Amino acid sequence: PLVAVIVVAAGSGTRLAAGQPKAFVPLQGQPMLAHALRGVTGMREPAQIILVVPADRVVEARQIAAGVNIRAEADPSVSAPVSALDLEVVVGGSSRQESVQRGLARLHPSVEIVLVHDAARALTPSALADAVVDAVRATGHGVIPGLAVSDTIKRVAETAADASQLGTVLGTVDRSELAAVQTPQGFPRHVLIAAVAAASPEMTDDAAIVAAAGHPVRVIAGHPLAFKITTRADLDRAEHLLAAART
Ligand code: C5P
């Protein structure tokens, strides 16, 4: 394949407080990871899929992937049914960046474009990943989906010598210049590999890593369903959306 998707699912999900890693939390009876994988397997172009999971979840992740594969074969609406998904499961690291790096180490030699996708964005439509691939191919640049920000955004004093100044509004940010970014984020293979190798360990955003290495990154239209499931309220919202889609 010319495209690979690294699905990062090795986070602990502490903010969701579901007692297990987030990607394995059920959503309408199936782990979040199964939903995320369905989106990836529905892409127009068959891709190498690299699934990055916690060390103690490798077997479970393989079982989940096998289930998605069987359904993909049975479902004619999936554009590229593949008898055996080109998928492998690898153990993640202690930071998201390390997890991405471990995924990158497994790329097939043929891969030219790499997408990095959060398993926590479980409802992301396949078409968004297709659009990211198209834009990387057309521009040769990094491409990330983003949505306009609808709330008014303030800069607020988070650190102040005088505690009474904490929370003071410092200014209003020009919303027209802002985008709330999502995944999958796509990059030419060599650009991402070089940028990740040069990145400082605390950076969590792939596009920021690529931009810091001096490469252009552009934003394309994101999708409301690509929201990240972080809190209980996000999970409830995802449940409702899936339930509504079934009726
Ligand atoms: O914690 P957060 O929601 O920002 O994580 C974003 C994504 O990165 C999640 O899909 C999570 O599973 C993944 N991640 C990872 N390895 C880590 C930390 C986060 O794969 N060490």
**Cβ of 96 less than 6 Å from ligand 1:** yes
Rounded to two decimals, the pTM is: 0.92
Task: Work out the pLDDT band at 246, boundaries 50, 70, 90.
Answer: confident
DSSP bridge pairs for 50: 6, 88
Predicted local confidence at residue 81, as pLDDT: 47
**Cβ of 230 less than 6 Å from ligand 1:** yes
Residue nearest ligand 1's atom 6 by CA:
118
Let me know if 30 is exposed, middle or buried by CB neighbors in 10 A (0-12, 13-18, 19+). Answer: middle
**Cβ of 122 less than 6 Å from ligand 1:** no
**Cβ of 11 less than 6 Å from ligand 1:** yes
Sorted by where each begins, the domain ranges of the chain are: 3-140+181-246
The SS3 call for residue 185 is strand
Average pLDDT over residues 128-140: 98
Pick the CATH number of 3-140+181-246 from 3.90.550.10, 3.10.350.10, 3.40.50.720, 3.90.1150.150: 3.90.550.10
pLDDT in tens, 168-221: 999 999 999 999 999 999 999 999 999 998 998 788 899 999 999 999 999 999
Q: Please report, rounded to a whole number, the percentage of residues in the chain having pLDDT higher than 90.
A: 75
Q: How far apart are CA 71 and CA 34, in angstroms?
A: 11
Expressed in angstroms and rounded, the spacing between residue 21 Cα and the centre of ligand 1 is: 9
Q: How far apart are CA 229 and CA 212, in angstroms?
A: 27
Is-contact 100 8, C-beta < 8 A? Answer: yes
**Cβ of 25 less than 6 Å from ligand 1:** no
